[in-house]
């Protein structure tokens, strides 16, 4: 039996932020490896011939001689997943769909697949495999919450690891906060479950052996349970750059309230966790209140960001626009806010209401959901919301968000933020920078390409020269500065007419 496991390319629409998924222009690599399909692959028995496809880095092979095609679907992958499923079913190949969005909105996928896996896969994997091998798959399997201490390690040996910049280790599932626009807590729950530290380190070692020197600790809120986080950071600090290993740069997702724990921030830096995504969302307390983003309330967000970056943890920040309290002045307000922070990279996004969230239910009840986009691009990565905004049109919201993104990417504005970032950023521990001499690999190509092509652009060249100068002055932050530069150039280049359309490796059926 042969099974083809597919992670579809995300579809953010014409103005989507696909630079969050892929780096490079001519031959992109994935920003991070596709953990979903590698995780599911671990549960297939040896007698099943498996093939993995991450569509960001390779086209779907519609001629693959598979008996079954299994597709993992998140909200940004819905349109593409449905297209792939239809194409394979038209050829008589049976299709299984699972993943976050299938679990949140299973009714949407009825009739699109032969089998749906709703909820987490691990608890039903045994029954699923037994039925698969017997040729009697049920139309639907409903998984419960998995015990992360008992999960199997992902099958990274089946993945094209040379085509991804960062490996991925899932360290927990769930988040205790209650942001009303977040679909994660609807799918994974508000009781956070943790993978034991020793299992995390084992998976990190596997990725290291495969050549990864950047690893994403996949966690919806890495620092919310301080004692667990401290234990894991201690284990990673003991492992990183020890026993002759090269240093590894870790990244994760955390909330801004980590700034209240300077000891934990110090442990992050010591362990090599030097980058984090933080959902700042907005400087408006009214908007934070309406979205139930309570962890960002009643604090000075500028001061908190200074503390986090000063401790050596660089931030990529989420900014959100289109709250009910937002009027047309919100775009300039968010720009001014962003320019005061020691942060280079931002992800500006319109507020959307993902299916199954409290926000969706409230907007649906108020008659403010735009149905034609609800079940496709209801993703925060695009610029067209599925909500009718209170104080502007959807088009004005999209245009304002595009303006904010372009303004933040403007080279002069980026230079100002790089200079502030370099002044504030805490040093990397010397043992994590000593002796790094990377041998060029397929992962190096996109950054080299970006530097080469961007240097021909006057504005981008000024940013590169600025960062080079800052790196000479702050050698213990050089790695952080260069990583931030790569992310910036990847976003900037995609906005320029001289950049060849890169995108994913998608093939049309």
Is pLDDT at 79 greater than 50 in this prediction? yes
CA–CA distance, 20 with 255 (Å, rounded to integer): 19
- A 10 A CB-CB count for 51 gives 16
Give 244's Cβ-side CA count (13 Å radius).
1
CA–CA distance, 466 with 462 (Å, rounded to integer): 6
What sign results for the dihedral spanned by CA atoms 408, 258, 276, 183? negative
Lowest mean pLDDT across 258-272, 347-361, 460-474 = 347-361
**What residues are paired with 317 via a beta bridge?**
278, 346
Q: Return the higher-pLDDT residue of 496 and 274.
A: 274
CA–CA distance, 109 with 121 (Å, rounded to integer): 17
Share of the chain above pLDDT 70, in %: 92
CA–CA distance, 241 with 479 (Å, rounded to integer): 15
CA–CA distance, 2 with 237 (Å, rounded to integer): 41
- Please give the full DSSP string across 247-287, using - where no structure is assigned: P-EEEEE--GGGGG-HHHHHHHHHHTEEEEEEEEE-S-HHH
Is pLDDT at 504 greater than 60 in this prediction? no
pLDDT at residue 103 in the model? 93
pLDDT band at residue 240 using 50, 70 and 90 as cut-offs: very high
Is pLDDT at 82 greater than 50 in this prediction? yes
Is pLDDT at 168 greater than 70 in this prediction? yes
For residues 263 and 240, the answer to whether their CB atoms sit within 8 Å is no
pLDDT at residue 60 in the model? 97
pLDDT at residue 444 in the model? 76
- Please give the full DSSP string across 200-230, using - where no structure is assigned: HHHHHHHHHHTT-SEEEEE-SSTTSSHHHHH
Topology (CATH) of 171-423: pyruvate-formate lyase- activating enzyme (3.80.30)
pLDDT at residue 209 in the model? 97
pLDDT in tens, 301-311: 999 999 999 99
pLDDT band at residue 41 using 50, 70 and 90 as cut-offs: very high
pLDDT in tens, 412-443: 999 999 999 999 999 999 999 854 445 556 67
Provide CATH 3.40.50.280 ranges for the chain.
2-146
pLDDT band at residue 19 using 50, 70 and 90 as cut-offs: low
- By CB atoms closer than 10 A (0-12, 13-18, 19+), residue 458 is exposed
Provide CATH 3.80.30.20 ranges for the chain.
171-423
pLDDT at residue 441 in the model? 61
Is pLDDT at 475 greater than 90 in this prediction? yes
- By CB atoms closer than 10 A (0-12, 13-18, 19+), residue 324 is middle
**What residues are paired with 347 via a beta bridge?**
318
Mean pLDDT confidence for 484-496: 92
Q: 497: which 2 tokens?
A: 């007419």
For residues 213 and 438, the answer to whether their CB atoms sit within 8 Å is yes
Distances in Å between the alpha carbon of 148 and those of 196, 322, 333, 396, 445? Answer: 8, 36, 42, 44, 35
- By CB atoms closer than 10 A (0-12, 13-18, 19+), residue 140 is middle
Is pLDDT at 17 greater than 70 in this prediction? no
pLDDT at residue 375 in the model? 46
Is pLDDT at 506 greater than 90 in this prediction? no
Q: 76: which 2 tokens?
A: 């940004």
Topology (CATH) of 2-146: Rossmann fold (3.40.50)
Mean pLDDT rounded to a whole number for the chain: 91
Pairing of the two strands 68-72 and 94-98: parallel
Mean pLDDT confidence for 151-175: 95
pLDDT band at residue 244 using 50, 70 and 90 as cut-offs: very high
Of 422, 436, 416, 425, the closest CA to residue 472 belongs to: 422
Is pLDDT at 81 greater than 70 in this prediction? yes
Place of tokens 């349109």: 79
Lowest mean pLDDT across 1-15, 92-106, 342-356 = 1-15
pLDDT at residue 437 in the model? 47
pLDDT band at residue 191 using 50, 70 and 90 as cut-offs: confident
pLDDT at residue 376 in the model? 44
Mean pLDDT confidence for 7-32: 72
Mean pLDDT confidence for 356-366: 93
pLDDT in tens, 119-158: 999 999 999 999 999 999 999 999 999 999 999 999 999 9
Phi, psi angles (nearest 5°) of residue 110: -60, 130
- A 10 A CB-CB count for 376 gives 18
Helix (H) or strand (E) holding 451: helix 444-454
Extended strands (E) in 273-419: 273-281, 314-321, 345-350
Is pLDDT at 12 greater than 70 in this prediction? no
pLDDT in tens, 201-212: 999 999 999 999
Pairing of the two strands 29-32 and 22-23: antiparallel
Phi, psi angles (nearest 5°) of residue 175: -150, 135
């Amino acid at each position: 039996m042969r099974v083809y496991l597919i992670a579809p390319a995300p579809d953010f629409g014409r103005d989507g932020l696909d630079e969050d998924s892929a780096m490079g222009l001519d031959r992109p690599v994935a920003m991070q490896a596709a953990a979903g399909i590698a995780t599911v692959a671990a549960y297939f028995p040896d007698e099943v011939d498996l093939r993995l496809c991450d569509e960001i880095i390779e086209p779907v092979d519609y001629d693959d001689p598979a008996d079954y095609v299994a597709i993992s679907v998140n909200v940004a992958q819905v349109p593409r997943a449905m297209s792939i499923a239809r194409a394979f079913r038209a050829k008589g190949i049976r299709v299984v769909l699972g993943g976050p969005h299938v679990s949140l909105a299973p009714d949407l996928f009825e009739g699109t697949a032969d089998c749906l896996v709703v909820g987490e896969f691990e608890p039903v994997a045994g029954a699923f495999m037994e039925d698969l091998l017997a040729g009697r798959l049920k139309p639907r399997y409903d998984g419960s919450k998995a015990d992360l201490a008992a999960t199997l390690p992902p099958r990274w040996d089946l993945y094209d690891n040379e085509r991804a910049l960062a490996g991925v280790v899932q360290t927990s599932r769930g988040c205790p906060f209650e942001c009303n626009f977040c679909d994660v807590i609807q799918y994974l729950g508000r009781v956070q479950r943790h993978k034991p530290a020793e299992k995390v380190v084992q998976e990190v070692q596997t990725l290291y052996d495969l050549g990864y020197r950047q690893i994403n600790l996949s966690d919806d809120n890495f620092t919310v349970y301080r004692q667990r986080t401290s234990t894991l950071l201690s284990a990673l600090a003991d492992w990183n750059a020890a026993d002759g290993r090269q240093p590894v740069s870790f990244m994760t997702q955390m909330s801004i309230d980590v700034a209240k724990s300077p000891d934990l921030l110090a442990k992050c830096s010591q362990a090599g966790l030097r980058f984090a995504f933080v959902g700042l969302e907005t400087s408006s307390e009214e908007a934070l209140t309406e979205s139930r983003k309570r962890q960002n309330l009643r604090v000075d967000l500028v001061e908190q960001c200074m503390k986090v970056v000063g401790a050596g943890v660089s931030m990529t920040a989420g900014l959100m626009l289109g709250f009910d309290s937002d009027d047309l002045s919100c775009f300039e307000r968010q720009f001014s806010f962003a320019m005061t922070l020691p942060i280079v990279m931002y992800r500006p996004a319109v507020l959307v209401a993902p299916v199954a969230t409290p926000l969706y239910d409230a907007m649906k009840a108020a008659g403010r959901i735009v149905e034609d986009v609800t079940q496709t691009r209801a993703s925060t990565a695009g610029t067209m919301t599925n909500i009718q905004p209170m104080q502007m049109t959807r088009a004005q919201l999209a245009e304002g968000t595009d303006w904010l993104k372009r303004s933040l990417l403007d080279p002069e504005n980026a230079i100002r933020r790089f200079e502030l970032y370099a002044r504030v950023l805490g040093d990397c521990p010397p043992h994590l920078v000593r002796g790094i001499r990377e041998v060029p690999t397929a992962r190096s190509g996109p950054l080299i390409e970006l530097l080469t092509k961007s240097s021909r652009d006057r504005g981008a060249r000024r940013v590169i020269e600025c960062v080079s100068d800052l790196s000479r002055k702050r050698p213990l932050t050089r790695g952080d500065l260069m990583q931030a530069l790569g992310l910036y150039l990847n976003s900037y280049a995609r906005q320029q007419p001289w950049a060849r359309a890169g995108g994913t490796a998608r093939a049309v059926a």
